[in-house]
Amino acid sequence: MELENLRDLYVHELKDLYSAEKQIISALPKMARAATNRQLSSAFRQHLEQTRKQAKRLEDILRGHDESTRGPKCQGMEGVIKEGDEMISEDAEPEVRDAGLIAAAQRVEHYEMAGYGCARTYAELLGDKKGARLLDTTLREEEATDLKLTKLAKSVINLRAKKAPSAAAKKRREQSKSGGVGKTLKGLVAKVTG
């Protein structure tokens, strides 16, 4: 039996979180590149730095229990990240995509918060004070990131998405509908010479 006691479950959860963090570390640079809004892009980059430290904390806790970080891939996070990937490649107005990227990123944070909350509780029950402290630090970072994203969405990103498509985008679309730049140029020439 692999999960005989709470300690086994604790280690299992730590490995699962580690797999999740590793996947997030490779996803966040793509999210940062896909974001048009500079504040959003830098929020993703800042969280990438934080996430690297969070992965180190898990390494630290697991090492303290003579356990490796190796374990099955966190499939829940794989699915959540896949949805974020789909948002990146969606044919979307930049402002609308930014709002969608926040929605995807908040799913990531909430998934993490659930995992860290459980792991911290197990650490407390098992008397792993250092583990509980480290997991609590990470949990607070995830909560702060979630809050930061909510604020950014409500104050800027969602409002811009509501206004999309921008005037410039509309104009470009109309031009392409009416035959593109060529036709517009011909029209201009006709006006000037006519």
In the complex, minimum distance from the CB of residue 142 to Fe ion, in angstroms, rounded to a whole number? 5
Long-range contacts of 77-80 (CB under 8 A, 24+ apart): 77/19, 77/20, 77/23, 77/24, 77/108, 77/111, 78/23, 80/104, 80/107, 80/108, 80/111
Options 62-70, 104-112, 154-162, 171-179: segment touching Fe ion (CB under 5 A) = 104-112
Secondary structure percentages of the chain, helix, strand, coil, to 5: 85, 0, 15
Options 80-88, 137-145, 164-172, 180-188: segment touching Fe ion (CB under 5 A) = 137-145
Closest-CA residue to 29 (of 91, 96, 85, 80): 85
* Binder among 19, 54, 115, 128 for Fe ion (CB under 5 A): 54
Q: Per rule CB under 5 A, is residue 19 in the interface with Fe ion?
A: no
Q: Per rule CB under 5 A, is residue 23 in the interface with Fe ion?
A: no
Nearer to Fe ion, 81 or 99 (CB): 81
Cβ atoms 157, 173 nearer than 8 A: no
Options 27-35, 96-104, 139-147, 148-156: segment touching Fe ion (CB under 5 A) = 139-147
Residue 158 has phi, psi (to 5 degrees) of -65, -35
Nearer to Fe ion, 23 or 54 (CB): 54
Nearer to Fe ion, 39 or 184 (CB): 39
Question: Contact positions toward Fe ion, by CB under 5 A?
Answer: 51, 54, 112, 142
